[in-house]
Amino acid sequence: MFCRAAPAFAGQAGARALTSGESIYRAGCAGCHGPDGKGAPDTTVGFEKPATFPDFTDCSGTTPELDVDWRATIHEGGHGRGFSPIMPSFAEELTAAQIDAVIKHLRGFCRDTAWPRGELNLPRPLNTEKAFPEDETVITTAVSAHAAPDVTHELVYEHRYGARNQLEISVPFASLHDPSGAVQRGVGDIGVGMKRVLFASANSIVSAQGEVIFPTGSKSDGLGNGVTVFEAFASYGQMLPSNMFLQVQAGTEQPWSTQDVSRAVFNRIALGKSFRQELGFGRLWSPMLELLTDRELATGAKTNLDLVPQFQVTLNRRQHLRINLGWQVPVNNTVGRSRQVVFYLLWDWFDGGLLDGWK
């Protein structure tokens, strides 16, 4: 993300004498990144720019990134987040306060305030839909804990459009046991949805999403509902003190026909806390606890309640590949509702390919 033209600072003493983010940037960064943040001309930098070389005025490329990731790259060099080693470490030249000052200056290159800050991209729970618009692909697997376990998968593709919009496509597929013990395998009901951020501040974000779930799965094999379902929900994310966070999702499912499928409402709440290794620059661990409730809007229906303890962990230096492992436990109405081991693999493809950022 960053680089340094030689010479940059006139020694450590010269660097430590600079106090404003702008003066630090002009002395140590502008030689490669340009005085306007768009990057200096190729003829003046003295090296071939890597594909990840940033334009800090491009809000779509900079706002999704967290301050801690920029801080790690400045302190540790490009290697700190799996980027080009052309970007050296400034750990000896700059204090923590100076690094924060230059990050604040860099943030000023994006002039469009409609883009939510990357810190609002909170760790993804297993069930609760996030409010932040994503560029991700996630595959989630749930294995029921009984003698002949059913296995369900869901592949979710999320693509961000502009500052506040996201397209989502979900494709479920499963291996299920019917009453005779035979295994039915196939694709379930495919969903297509659109998310829109309604509000974003420094510490909180609110979004709304509508989704159409098409009856592409076989109802007779237990792989689908046999009817189109419209789903609508709101999502809320809140940053809390001490690296804690809260996420809430509430919505409804409205089938095209209620002859065989009932209308339903649901609510999901996730509370978590993040821990970073290596003085805050290393691997990210995020234990979470989800509370899930759902209820069909039919006579005699009961509210189902589940608890899902889980933890997410980053896999590589760039932290754009993550796994989450949890245990979903029904609290009430346990007849016919098995405990499940649930896990996912998340790829934030906006930050690079599957093989990028490991070393």
Same domain, 59 and 153: no
Is residue 15 in a domain? yes
Same domain, 122 and 103: no
Is residue 113 in a domain? no
pLDDT per position as a tens digit, 55-79: 999 999 999 999 999 999 999 988 8
Is residue 5 in a domain? no
Q: CA of 171: how far to CAs of 25, 26, 193, 239, in Å? A: 46, 49, 12, 30
pLDDT per position as a tens digit, 279-290: 888 999 999 999
Same domain, 164 and 74: no
Is residue 252 in a domain? yes
Predicted local confidence at residue 232, as pLDDT: 98
Q: Based on C-alpha coordinates, what's the Rg of the chain?
A: 24
Is residue 357 in a domain? no
Could you tell me what percent of the chain has a pLDDT over 70? 96
pTM score, whole prediction: 0.92
CATH code at position 28: 1.10.760
**Which range (123-127, 167-171, 181-185, 243-247) has the least confidence?**
181-185
Residue 358, both tokens? 């490991």
Number of separate domains in the chain? 2
DSSP 91-108: TTT--HHHHHHHHHHHHT
DSSP 11-77: HHHHHHT--SHHHHHHHHTHHHH-TTSS---HHHHSSPPPTT---TT-HHHHTTS-HHHHHHHHHH-
Look up tokens 């999704």; give the residue: 64
Statement: residue 324 has pLDDT above 90: yes
Chain-centre distance for alpha carbon 264: 27
Same domain, 169 and 122: yes
Q: Choose the final residue of a domain: 54, 79, 107.
A: 107
Degrees to nearest 5, angle at CA 58 with 170 and 50 = 90
Same domain, 200 and 159: yes
Same domain, 291 and 164: yes
CATH code at position 200: 2.40.160.40
Same domain, 44 and 190: no
Same domain, 31 and 75: yes
Provide the residue range defining the domain that includes 22.
11-107
Residue 128 and residue 268 in contact, taking contact as beta carbons nearer than 8 Å:
yes
Same domain, 30 and 102: yes
Same domain, 144 and 85: no
Statement: residue 11 has pLDDT above 80: no
Q: Choose the final residue of a domain: 87, 107, 127.
A: 107
Is residue 1 in a domain? no
Is residue 4 in a domain? no
Mean per-residue pLDDT, 219-230: 93
pLDDT per position as a tens digit, 260-277: 899 999 999 999 999 999
Mean per-residue pLDDT, 239-256: 97
Residue 103 and residue 109 in contact, taking contact as beta carbons nearer than 8 Å:
no
Same domain, 251 and 150: yes
DSSP 74-95: HHH-GGGGT--TTS---TTT--
Same domain, 272 and 155: yes
